[in-house]
Amino acid sequence: MTSPLPVVELRDVSKSFGNVRAVKNVSFTLPRGSVLTILGPSGCGKTTLLRMIAGFDAPTSGEIFIQGQPVSSVPPYQRSIGMVFQKLALFPHMTAAENIAYPLKMRRYDPATIPGRVERYLQIVQLSGMGTRRIHELSGGQQQRVAIARALSFSPDLLLLDEPLSALDKKLREEMQLEFRRIQQELAVTTINVTHDQREALVMSDEIIVMSDGAVQQAADPVRLYREPSSRFVASFIGLTSLLTGRATKIQAMDVAIQVGNMVLKGRTADETIQNGAWVECALRAEQVRIFPAGKGFAEFDNALEGVVDQQIFEGDRMVYQVRCPALGDAPIFVFDHDPAHHQFHQKDDSVRIGWNAQDLLVYACSDA
């Protein structure tokens, strides 16, 4: 049986602006009905990549395929793509319904079918009865829903999201992340989302591509990306992570002993190139570390250290500690306590013990080596 063609395929796509290579040899495929998030810091090339898929910029080299057809020479208006922009680009002089109807009129849909189609998408984005409102009469979240409905009203092959949630406050942004995911799953629309928000990427995606300096650092599903980051950069970009540098002193299969300051720590690695004596970089997620009052034992952990609390931040559902460990050369270790109401609070300058298991200290070859 022949496998269906991916909705989107990129083959070694690059983009240069003068002497600057903004995107470097990016390749991926996107199956029908899935959500891909392109994640990375500002300036990493993710928006340039999205613009090339949309047709606003042409690749310097490589090719983009949509529905199996090369599109580098196809203008944006001839690509079956819906877009939701960061600034939404809604027409303020139109009602919500008129905004949603606009792409249908531009594509010469039968006028008799447009009102019913507009009402259907108002229902999908949970704005039934609000079609007659002007844009300024809608809240920020409602405006987002209108923008989604407008982008989807003509049933595009592909939906592109260019950081449309970045201007919202934290609570509304998190609500809209779930709403985007609900709508996408209901309609099974193939989607590419661009963001620098790691939570958004984890919540909304079937697949995530992490970019840095124009290149793909890792492509994986959210669970694998979080649990098995391929580099110190990816580990540090996803989640709150403590970073340590040391020398590998003993390697046995995936188990590594690392000299960091005056301590020998136990960790794990998937990098078979690491040799004894080599400088390595280590990443440790805050939720994998446990914290106890000084003098309390925790023999069940592979790594155990004495430390001093430098900072505590209460976030409601968790307490975040920054602990300074003299044995590590005062390198800061971040700790989450996810049940602070039932645990002892540790104040600034308190002496504490922290511990974690070897499998949670991820070891990578030093990028400067």
| 276 and 315 fall within a common domain | yes
Do 132 and 98 share a structural domain?
yes
CATH value at residue 74: 3.40.50.300
**28 found inside a domain:** yes
Contact predicate 212/40, CB 8 Å = yes
Q: What is the pTM of this model?
A: 0.89
- Reported as a single tens digit per residue, the pLDDT across 174-219 is 888 998 899 999 999 999 999 999 999 999 999 999 999 999 999 9
- Whether 316 and 186 share a structural domain: no
38 and 182, same domain (yes or no):
yes
Does 235 fall in a domain?
no
Written as six digits, the tokens of 368 are 């400067």
Q: Which of 58-62, 176-180, 205-209, 292-296 has the lowest mean pLDDT?
A: 292-296
pLDDT at 368: 62
- Whole-angstrom CA distances from 120 to 88, 94, 97, 132, 187 are 21, 18, 11, 15, 12
- Between CA 78 and CA 95 the distance in angstroms is 26
Is the pLDDT higher at 105 or at 295?
Answer: 105
Residues 203 and 248 occupy one common structural domain: no
Q: Are residues 174 and 252 in the same domain?
A: no
Residue with tokens 């039934």: 128
Inter-CA distances, 286 with 201, 264, 341, 354, Å: 19, 20, 18, 11
Total number of residues shown for the chain: 369
Residue 234 belongs to some domain of the structure: no
pLDDT average, residue stretch 107-126: 94
Q: Is the pLDDT of residue 297 over 80?
A: no
pLDDT of residue 337: 87
| Spatial distance between the Cα atoms of 183 and 68, rounded to a whole number of angstroms | 25
CB-CB neighbours of 326 under 10 Å: 14
How many domains does the chain fold into?
A: 2
Single-letter amino acid code for the residue at 62: G
From residue 137, alpha-carbon distances to 130, 141, 166, 240 in Å are 10, 12, 21, 39
Residue with tokens 């985007």: 180
Percent of the chain with pLDDT over 70: 97
Q: Is there a single domain that holds both residue 265 and residue 355?
A: yes
**In the listed set 179, 201, 227, which residue is the last one of a domain according to the structure?**
227
Averaged pLDDT, 245-262: 93
Overall average pLDDT of the 80-107 stretch: 91
Residue 107 lies in a domain: yes
For residues 365 and 279, what is the distance between their CA atoms, to the nearest angstrom? 7
| Residues 223 and 266 reside in one and the same domain | no
Indicate if 111 and 221 belong to the same structural domain: yes
> Are 321 and 242 within 8 A, CB to CB?
no
Q: Read off the tokens for 219.
A: 């492509």
What type of residue is 173? Answer: R
Indicate left, alpha or beta for 215 from its phi (over 0: left) and psi (-120 to 50: alpha): beta
Pairing between strand 351-356 and 303-314?
antiparallel
Question: Who contacts 85 (Cβ-Cβ below 8 Å, separation ≥6)?
Answer: 147, 162, 164
Quickly list DSSP for 37-87.
Answer: EEE--TTSSHHHHHHHHHTSS--SEEEEEETTEE-TTS-GGGS-EEEE-TT
The whole-number pLDDT of residue 40 equals: 94
Domain boundary among 200, 227, 254: 227
Task: Say if residue 1's pLDDT is above 60.
Answer: no
Q: Show the domain range for 203.
A: 8-227
- 329-366: per-residue pLDDT in tens? 888 999 998 776 667 789 999 999 999 999 999 999 98
Predicted local confidence at residue 298, as pLDDT: 67
Residue 17 shares a structural domain with residue 88: yes
Q: Which domain-ending residue is among 161, 195, 227?
A: 227
Could you tell me the pLDDT band of residue 101, with boundaries at 50, 70 and 90? very high
Whole-number average pLDDT of the chain: 91
Buried b (16+ CB within 10 A) or exposed e, 277-291: eeebbbbbbbbbbbb
**Each residue of 58-83: b (16+ CB within 10 Å) or e?**
ebeebebbbbeeebeeeeeeebebbb
- Kindly state whether residue 111 falls inside one of the protein's structural domains: yes
Mean pLDDT over 147-169 rounds to 90
Residue 81 included in any domain: yes
- Percent of the chain residues topping a pLDDT of 90: 78
* Domain contains 1: no
Using the predicted structure, report yes or no on whether residue 3 has a pLDDT greater than 80: no
**What is the CB neighbour count within 10 angstroms for residue 322?**
19
Instruction: Report, as an integer, the average pLDDT of 284-302.
Output: 85
The answer on 158 and 37 residing in a single domain is yes
Question: What CATH number does the domain containing 324 carry?
Answer: 2.40.50.100
pLDDT at 255: 94
User: Does residue 320 share a domain with residue 286?
Assistant: yes
Q: Give me the phi and psi of 308, to 5 degrees please.
A: -130, 135
In a domain, 157, yes or no: yes
Q: Say how far apart CA 35 and CA 154 lie, in whole Å.
A: 19
